[in-house]
Amino acid sequence: MIREFVALATSNEFDALKGEGLVPKDGVYFRIDPKSWEVQEYEVYSKKKNEGLSDFLSTSAQVIDNSWMVSTNKCLDLPSRGIHSASPFCIAFKRDSWVGGAKFAKDGDNNLLCLERIQDYFSKTKGFSDKEDHALIDAFQTFFLEKASLVLDSKAEVLNEIGDAGYITFYLDLPLEKYQEVHGRHLKDKLFNTPPKGKPEEDGTVFGTSDFFNGFNVKKQFLTHNSATFDVSQVISDREAKGLYDFKKVLDRKILPNPLPIFIDREELTGRAIRIDRGREDKKLGYRRIVRELLEEHRQNLGNYYLLFYQQGEIKDFDFVSKFDYELKENGQVWVVENHLPLKDSPDKTQIKNIFDFEKWVLFAMFNNKLVVLKDNELVSNRYFDELKAEYCGSAHNYQQMLKYRKACYDFVYKSRRSAINGLMFDDILISGMMDDLRNHELDDGNTSAQIKRKLNLYFSLHHIFHKTNQSMASTLPQMRSAMRELLNEEERVLANDKEFGYTAGQVIYYLLAQSKTSKKTHALLEPFIQKNDGAKFKEALVSTFFKYKHEPYLNSKRFNALMAELMGYAPEKSIKEIWPEILAGYFDKNLLFENSNADKPELELSEN
């Protein structure tokens, strides 16, 4: 992993990114004239308020980038850790550490006005600066101890504006190269997890343990190789450590594609991927464009690369992709989701031609637009690695399902892991999701019927693909409708199997519940049936609902009586849980008991489509 990151970080393509997207940290910046020791210019920066960068703030951002500490554990202000700069020409600290701040009070006599503390900071910076600069460093130290308070006292309104978390930064008006030179010396050994190993090479190169997302700690025995003949398994050079340091800084600026493909031994493809992403204004979901354009350019399948997903300062996922399969075909045929249970403004058939169509139309429906988010039929975001909150996910069940399956969905889409989602997972997501939709219908803005219909359409259209069977269920619904009509019109016709039983039961349940005089009918009326898994108990619930509405005139219907008789006389072989898709299909499909019958009541909607 490290070698691939280093190769990218030291490439020509990456050099152009080091200054891109660079902004200051929130706070106030003072540029000091090293001759007159007066404030030349100052300005406040806030990420939320500043729409663009002035020349002064742009310069300040570059200065800070080449003056900052590696981490608070390696800062020059130990043990207080209040000064976060690491340069002899710059001193930066949070407002909280200055007069009036909580940390200033906590530091007591060792606050930032303490002579010994400031002397210690500047003394350490002399260790990686040129001797001819030491007089300048001493003068800067004197300026800070004698004039910083006066400057900040005159800018009280500015300190109130930046808040306790904002930075106060003083830096000298010197060439940027000067900052880069001394900062490079400071980083030479600070970028290692442990002190450099052995003597420097003839060219000055030193080696040490990588500190790039490495928690190795020699003080923790359980992390050391106690039975090995070596202290650490791998060391890297200071040049490689600097490359990793620069790579992480660019990652933190969110200017690279996410996820980012890093091709092995083909740096030109990685560079091309970065250029494709940089060429678009909207940086969201750029990986789709990268894949499409690379495939178009090279006319071949992509593969042999690492895929990096980086978010909120953490590597969420890093994995090897041997081959990326863009198109989705089963036995040479494109995947198709049929609109079995008609949804408004939806085509009869939706072709799932490629993996991103799957993400957009299938994953969107499977998790109720919470894992993959569509707006105006356009995919706007995904939450494969976001910190999830149950209240956002619509229900506790959907929250748990997203936590349980979102990594598998990510692998399926972005790494071409076709085994990441199997038949059991496919059924669990859809069937348990539909049952949860019924229980929590009020949480979905009256859109429960549409959500369940989408899931039923997915279930019957793609079931055979995830279960690895040659028998498609696409014709199941038409067959069950046909069987229902035969039951209604042919006296000798009987229920032939559990699927017909389930579909017919769903039709009858809807017909019974439609007789309710309740002004606002909801899917909560299905609760007595949802709780039943045994066939006999399920039929008892059906009978109970039948008697509840026995006073209605529809009981004179021969059509209804024939269906009810068949249902009561049939003993399903499977559990009710196994045929819930067929029951829901009958429930949400157009009710045939209301079809072509003037004697029966017109169809009633239990909720919006």
pLDDT digits (tens, 9 = 90+) for 492-512: 889 999 999 999 999 999 888
* Mean pLDDT, the chain, whole residue set: 86
| Chain center to CA of 42 | 38
Which residue is associated with the tokens 């008991």?
593
Same domain (yes/no): 15, 153: yes
pLDDT band at 608 (very low <50, low <70, confident <90, very high): very low
3-class SS of residue 347:
coil
C-alpha distance across the termini of the chain, in Å? 50
Quick one: average pLDDT of 176-195?
88
| Chain center to CA of 360 | 15
Of 232-236, 388-392, 539-543, the least confident: 232-236
Nearest in space to 484 (alpha carbons), one of 493, 472, 474, 471: 493
Strand spans (E) along 66-181: 90-94, 167-172
Is residue 460 in a domain? no
Quick one: average pLDDT of 405-409?
96
Is residue 167 in a domain? yes
Same domain (yes/no): 313, 410: no
> How much is the pLDDT for 551?
64
Is residue 65 in a domain? yes
Contact predicate 488/559, CB 8 Å:
yes
Is residue 249 in a domain? no
Two structure tokens written together for 158:
């500015």
Same domain (yes/no): 313, 341: no
User: Does residue 466 carry a pLDDT above 50?
Assistant: yes
Of 119-123, 183-187, 560-564, the least confident: 560-564
Is residue 379 in a domain? yes
Share of the chain above pLDDT 90, in %: 50
Quick one: average pLDDT of 112-140?
95
Contact predicate 225/241, CB 8 Å:
no
Contact predicate 85/92, CB 8 Å:
yes
| Tally of structural domains, the chain | 4
Same domain (yes/no): 144, 7: yes
Which helix (H) or strand (E) covers residue 397, if one does?
helix 396-414
Share of the chain above pLDDT 70, in %: 89
Domain housing 482: 476-594
3-class SS of residue 91:
strand
AA identity, residue 377: N
Is residue 442 in a domain? no
> How much is the pLDDT for 217?
57
Q: Which of 298, 320, 342 is the last residue of a domain?
A: 320
Q: Which of 149, 175, 208 is the last residue of a domain?
A: 208
Same domain (yes/no): 24, 158: yes
User: Does residue 604 carry a pLDDT above 60?
Assistant: no
User: Does residue 139 carry a pLDDT above 70?
Assistant: yes
Is residue 586 in a domain? yes
Quick one: average pLDDT of 510-527?
77
Same domain (yes/no): 530, 427: no
Task: For the beta carbon of residue 447, count every other beta carbon within 10 angstroms.
Answer: 17
Strands 27-32 and 167-172: parallel
What is the C-alpha separation between 560 and 541, in angstroms, rounded? 17
Contact predicate 90/63, CB 8 Å:
yes
pLDDT band at 599 (very low <50, low <70, confident <90, very high): very low
Same domain (yes/no): 276, 343: no
Same domain (yes/no): 484, 511: yes
> How much is the pLDDT for 609?
38
User: Does residue 198 carry a pLDDT above 80?
Assistant: no
Same domain (yes/no): 392, 539: no
Same domain (yes/no): 90, 143: yes
Question: What is the per-residue pLDDT across 2-13, written as a single tens digit (0 to 9) for each?
Answer: 777 877 887 777
Quick one: average pLDDT of 59-66?
95
Beta bridge pairs of residue 337: 350
Q: Which of 320, 340, 373 is the last residue of a domain?
A: 320
User: Does residue 372 carry a pLDDT above 70?
Assistant: yes
Same domain (yes/no): 296, 398: no
- The phi and psi torsions of 265 (rounded to 5 degrees) equal 60, 20
3-class SS of residue 556:
helix
Same domain (yes/no): 182, 38: yes
pTM of the model: 0.84
Is residue 552 in a domain? yes
